[in-house]
């Protein structure tokens, strides 16, 4: 009997297992039968909200194919030219990240080089002087001899944001009257493509040739754009630029990508790509409301013709409009501010009130701007430059925006500023313009090239509150004067201190120096020491 019971239980278990394995009998994500059970509702293919959302799993190159990338670039450029909000987002980044330029201050690692702090400071002065000789002169740094390095920083940032990425070649060009031969030549994204516009291969994607590990080896740059103003665009040729020097291993072509979002990604997508659709709709909505407001400001009438109307009559004259020379009827009827209408026989004016219900425009507009700003990591207040909330809320928006600006500033320094400075210092050492012992050693070279890049200061909504908070952070030991000086003024603390020392000594020499209220007089310090 026990054997029969065991066999019955085993049969039922087997039937239950087979029933569970049959997809037709499994419960759906909605709790019913007839579908595959999902552990996450986001993976359901039977929920009405999810049934049409079936993206595929593709490689980074397949997720950003050439055709779509070119369309995104073209639309981003057009949005940059014609969409107010798109231009505001890009220009806000340009002004806050670069401004008048990221200034380099050498900070030689004296301990790593085994030298004294005084010797390191001497090297800092020499390196800063060499860099300024190069960076401030457009003929030194720009292959086109148009922009200095600080202006090129802004151009590189804008080009990378709008186009998805930008390329900078570093050719050696001798020029009369210059000190250096290293030049920077900027190429836009659509100048880099596969030779002959061929399909991608296992070692080349959109003009970027890479090795078995995915590291860039060469870039293929066209001689002209696909659509240009000359016949050169028809007979385009491809030039090969090495990513690294074959003998030295140093960078020869810089690839500044907007943001690498996936491993193995070779080209970047425009900064505005995720928000192009809502930007276009918002622009059309704003234009329609603006046109509606303009039309509402005009005196609007309809000319109603009765059955006794005669074509031969002269029905209308309008101030600001031309009348036919023969006195006949004019079909060109227009409206304007303060128009005076003269009706003819058989015509009757019917007024129309073209009032628009535009009271909802501002809430809708602000709601979409908030979402677009969230996607771009720029708060609405910062994007619109309109701080209409409380001090704490406005300050929170500014601080959040500056987290994003700081990240972009670090990204620009890492991909463009510091690599180009390294090439300049390399040339200066090779030319004998500066003596850096042991520079051929990679570790010592990095110690010599160590630097701090400082951009425009963050600014403050209430400077007194910000200054008091900075002093408090220094007092409790969570910050220092160097950090606070860079954040508040954008200048190195050493330079501020040196200049302040000069001013104080000059005031003492002239007999007009007075001790600040927050400092203890020198006489009191001596008394305290004696006690």
For 341, counting Cβ atoms within 10 Å of its Cβ (0-12 exposed, 13-18 middle, 19+ buried), the class is middle
- Judge whether residue 172 has pLDDT over 80: yes
Task: Please tell me which residue, 91 or 225, carries the higher pLDDT value.
Answer: 91
Backbone angles phi, psi at 114, to 5 degrees: 75, 35
Which pLDDT belongs to residue 508?
Answer: 85
Note the residue count of the chain. Answer: 531
Which pLDDT belongs to residue 319?
Answer: 41
Count of beta carbons in the 10 Å neighbourhood of residue 258: 24
Which pLDDT belongs to residue 299?
Answer: 58
Residue 377 backbone class (left: φ over 0; alpha: ψ -120 to 50; beta: rest) = left
Which pLDDT belongs to residue 98?
Answer: 95
Distance CA 254, CA 185 (A): 10
| Span 87-126, pLDDT tens digits | 999 999 999 999 999 999 999 999 999 999 999 999 999 9
Torsion of Cα atoms, 88 then 93 then 96 then 102, to 10°: -140
Q: Which two tokens stand for residue 9?
A: 């239980």
Q: What is the pTM of this model?
A: 0.79
- Helices 66-82, 276-296: crossing angle, 10 deg rounding: 30
Distance CA 279, CA 354 (A): 27
Which pLDDT belongs to residue 13?
Answer: 58
| Span 437-495, pLDDT tens digits | 999 999 999 999 999 998 888 777 777 877 888 888 888 988 888 777 777 777 777 77
Q: How confident is the model at residue 22 (pLDDT cuts 50, 70, 90)?
A: low
Which pLDDT belongs to residue 523?
Answer: 47
Three-state secondary-structure class, residue 518? coil
Q: How far is CA 179 from CA 47, 193, 422, in A?
A: 69, 34, 16
Query: Under 8 Å CB-to-CB from 50, ≥6 apart: which residues?
Result: 41, 42, 44
pLDDT mean over 27-46: 65
Three-state secondary-structure class, residue 341? strand
Which pLDDT belongs to residue 343?
Answer: 63
Task: Please tell me which residue, 167 or 515, carries the higher pLDDT value.
Answer: 167
Count of beta carbons in the 10 Å neighbourhood of residue 531: 5
| Distance from the first to the final alpha carbon of the chain | 105
The per-residue pLDDT of the chain, averaged, comes to 82
CA 139 to mean position of chain CA atoms: 27
Which pLDDT belongs to residue 327?
Answer: 47
Q: What is the DSSP letter of 93?
A: H
pLDDT mean over 130-142: 95
Residue with tokens 């050169």: 232
Q: What is the DSSP letter of 424?
A: H
Distance CA 94, CA 374 (A): 18
- Judge whether residue 528 has pLDDT over 70: no
Q: Which two tokens stand for residue 173?
A: 């060009």
Q: How far is CA 129 from CA 412, 424, 432, in A?
A: 22, 12, 14
Distance CA 397, CA 425 (A): 39
Count of beta carbons in the 10 Å neighbourhood of residue 470: 18
Whether the Cβ atoms of residue 80 and residue 162 lie closer than 8 Å to each other: yes
Distance CA 91, CA 100 (A): 13
Whether the Cβ atoms of residue 198 and residue 282 lie closer than 8 Å to each other: no
Q: Which two tokens stand for residue 381?
A: 């207040």
Which pLDDT belongs to residue 351?
Answer: 64
Distance CA 194, CA 200 (A): 7
Residue with tokens 């001596």: 526
- Judge whether residue 413 has pLDDT over 60: yes
Whether the Cβ atoms of residue 32 and residue 38 lie closer than 8 Å to each other: no
Distance CA 490, CA 455 (A): 6
């Amino acid at each position: 009997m026990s054997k029969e019971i065991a066999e019955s239980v085993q049969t039922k278990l087997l039937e239950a297992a087979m029933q569970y394995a049959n997809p037709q009998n499994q419960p759906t994500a909605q709790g019913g039968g007839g579908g595959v059970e999902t552990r996450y509702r986001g993976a359901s293919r039977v929920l009405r909200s999810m049934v049409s959302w079936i993206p595929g799993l593709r490689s980074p190159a397949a997720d950003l194919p050439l055709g779509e990338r070119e369309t995104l670039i073209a639309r981003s450029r057009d949005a940059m030219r014609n969409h107010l909000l798109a231009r505001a987002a890009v220009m806000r980044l340009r002004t806050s990240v670069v401004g008048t330029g990221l200034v380099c201050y050498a900070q030689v690692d004296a301990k790593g080089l085994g030298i004294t702090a005084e010797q390191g400071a001497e090297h800092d002065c020499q390196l800063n002087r060499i860099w300024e000789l190069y960076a401030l002169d457009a003929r030194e740094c720009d292959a086109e001899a148009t922009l200095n390095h600080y202006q090129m920083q802004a151009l590189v940032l804008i080009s990378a944001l709008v186009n998805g990425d930008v390329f900078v070649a570093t050719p050696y060009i001798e020029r009369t009257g210059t000190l250096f031969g290293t030049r920077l030549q900027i190429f836009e994204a659509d100048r880099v493509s596969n030779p002959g516009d061929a399909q991608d291969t296992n070692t080349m994607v959109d003009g970027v040739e890479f090795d078995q590990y995915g590291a860039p080896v060469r870039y293929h740059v066209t001689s002209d754009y696909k659509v240009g103003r000359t016949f050169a665009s028809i007979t385009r040729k491809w030039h090969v630029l090495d990513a690294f020097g074959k003998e030295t291993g140093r960078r020869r072509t810089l690839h500044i990508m907007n943001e690498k979002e996936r491993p193995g990604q070779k080209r970047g997508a425009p900064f505005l790509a995720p928000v192009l659709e809502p930007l276009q709709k918002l622009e059309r909505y704003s234009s329609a409301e603006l046109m509606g407001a303009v039309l509402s400001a005009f005196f609007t009438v309809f000319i109603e013709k009765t059955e006794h109307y005669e074509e031969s009559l002269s029905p209308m004259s309008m101030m600001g409009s031309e009348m036919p020379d023969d006195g006949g009827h004019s079909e060109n009827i227009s409206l304007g501010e303060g128009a005076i209408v003269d009706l003819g026989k058989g015509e009757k004016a019917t007024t129309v009130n073209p009032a628009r219900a535009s009271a909802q425009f501002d809430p809708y507009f602000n709601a979409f701007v908030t979402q677009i700003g969230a996607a771009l990591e720029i708060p609405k207040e910062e994007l619109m430059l309109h701080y209409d909330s409380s001090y704490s809320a406005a300050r929170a928006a500014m601080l959040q925006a500056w987290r994003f600006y700081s990240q972009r500033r670090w990204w620009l320094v890492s991909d463009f500023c510091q690599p180009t400075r390294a090439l300049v210092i390399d040339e200066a050492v090779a030319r004998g313009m500066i003596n850096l012992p042991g520079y051929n050693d990679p570790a010592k070279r990095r110690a010599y090239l160590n630097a701090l890049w400082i951009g425009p200061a963050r600014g403050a909504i209430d400077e007194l509150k910000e200054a008091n908070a900075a002093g408090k952070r220094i007092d409790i030991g969570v910050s220092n004067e160097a950090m606070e000086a860079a954040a508040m003024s954008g200048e190195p603390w050493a330079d501020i201190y040196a200049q302040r020392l000069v001013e104080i000594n000059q005031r003492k020499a002239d007999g007009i120096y007075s001790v600040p209220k927050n400092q203890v007089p020198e006489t009191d310090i001596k008394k305290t020491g004696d006690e």
